[in-house]
Structure formats: C-alpha cells, structure tokens
Structure 1
Amino acid sequence: MLRSVDLSDYMSRNPVSVSATDNVFDAIELIVEHKVSGVCVVDDQSTLLGVLSELDCLRAILNASYNNTSDIGAVRDYMTEEVDSCKLHADVVEVADFMIKQGHRRLPVVDKGKLVGQITCRQLLTVVSQFTNVAA
C-alpha cells in the first residue's frame, strides 16, 4: 500500500536554499528563522550544488574564531558537495530505507538535476500515519 504513494505528494516544495557565494552568517539566519537543520545550496538555475548543515556552520564559526577574524566566509567554503538526493516521484518505501541505511534525516528532491523539494523523516512518518488511520 505504501509503495503506491508518490513522494511528490508529501515533500516540501520550497526547501530553504542559499547560493554558494552567500555569506555563512546569512545561511545561519535562515536556518534559525526557518527552524531547519540545514539548507540546500543551489546555483541560479536551481541546480543542487550541495548542502550546508548546522554542523558546517559551527565549523565555519570555530574556524573564524581560531583565526581571530570576523570574516566567516562563503557557503561554498563549508558546504558538503557530495550530497545524496532522491527523484521527484521516488517510491517512499525505498526512500525511507535509503535514509535509514545512510543515516539521513532529510534528502533533497531533484528533477532533471534541479532542486524541486526536500523530504524529511517527519514527512515520511506522516505518510505512514495517514495510511495507518485509513486502514484502521
């Protein structure tokens, strides 16, 4: 039953994103404002370039502190470029299995290389909850 669910029906369609050239402080403000654990990094055509997590931001802050500078740097200097993602109409069971095996709490969703959304563990739990309520 869950295999018939289309991932695109449950993903966030407007994930918080930044440019690689943005200042890390700007990304931190977005992370705090939107209460997310990281942001997607995209270019001007919405191509996914990487992600910047809370830990990446802390690394940038510590680096600036150790170097005694107020210039924290650009997102590109701290983002993770090797990023797993899933396709727009992926099978939710396969996505959940992949997230568990890889230890991901969220995955960018791409269509033809462009960022179109993000799926989180909480959204996958919503799918299960809705199907459990229907079956009961």
Structure 2
Amino acid sequence: MGIKSFQGARKQQQKEVEHIPVRVSDYMSRELITFKADQMVEDVIHKLIAHKISGGPVVNENYELIGIISEGDCLKDISDSRYYNMPMEQHRVEARMIKDVETIDGNMNIFDAANKFLESKRRRFPIVQDGKLVGQISQKDVLIAALKLKGHNWK
C-alpha cells in the first residue's frame, strides 16, 4: 500500500516570469564627473579626491568621448614632475589621458560586461551612444547588479 498525500491534488501553478534587467544600461552611472583636455592635472586630482572616484572620462565641447584619465595617470604626472624637478601647474589632461579608450555597448548583458572587466583588468568602461558619452559602468556597478539578481536567478 502506497503513501497518500494529505494535501490532495494541486493545480500546477503558473509562475509569472518577472522581467529582470540585466543590461549594462540598467546599472550604468549616468551622472558623471567628466574632464576636459585643456584642464589642469592638478584640478583633476582635486576632483578625484573630492568626489572619491578613481578616474573619469574626458570629453570635448560636444560631449564626445576623447579619453580617460585616472589616478594612475595623475600619479605618473606627479612622479615625472618630481623626477625632472618640473612644476605641475602647466600640466594638462590631454598630455596624460589615455586616448585609445575601449567602450562597451549599453545593451550588453551585465554578466558579459563582468567577463570583459576580467579580461581587460579595467575598472570602468564608458558607454557611448550616437557619438556622445551617455554613461559609465564600473566593476562596482556589476557587483551591485549581481547582488540584486541573486535572489531571482541563483540558488
């Protein structure tokens, strides 16, 4: 004799699939601290410290991305300045920024973006749309997305 369930027959419940945003554009920062090519490196250092950021995009007057400047770029400027005993006051962003900037698509899956971070060893990627800077995704943004999605997708 088999064991019978005391609950009886149940209707198969239809699970409603909830739309879970997983695109880079759903987690990217849109309010960015940006820099100009003719800005002084010392100004950048002050902004990095004041805003507690490690770098930012460099844009032209049309808000087109022309480079990235980071703490490391500023450190190199300070180091070179000390080594060659040259004052920093005249150093401009355009001399220190990285000009060959890799961007990613805002429609990219957030987990594909995570792999791109691992492969490139970068801390941030700008997102450009129609030639204009529209946002930036950081490693921290991907971590936030992963924690939000954990309850929905991971066991």
Q: Bigger radius of gyration, 1 or 2?
A: 2
TM-score over 0.5 for the alignment?
yes
Q: What's the TM-score, normalizing by structure 2?
A: 0.80
Give me the CA root mean square deviation.
2.0
Q: Which residue of 1 aligns with 2:52?
A: 35
1:1-136 correspondence runs (5 A)? 5-70=22-87, 71-135=89-153
Higher RCO (CA-CA < 8 Å; seq separation 6+): 1
Q: Which runs of 5+ in 2 are unaligned?
A: 1-17
Bigger mean CA deviation after superposition, 61-70 or 13-22: 61-70
Bigger mean CA deviation after superposition, 25-34 or 88-97: 88-97
Question: AA paired with 1:25?
Answer: E
Separation in 2, partners of 1:17, 1:98: 23
Q: Which has the higher helix share?
A: 1
Q: Which has the higher strand share?
A: 1
Question: AA paired with 1:107?
Answer: F
Q: Percent identity?
A: 32
Matched pairs, number? 136
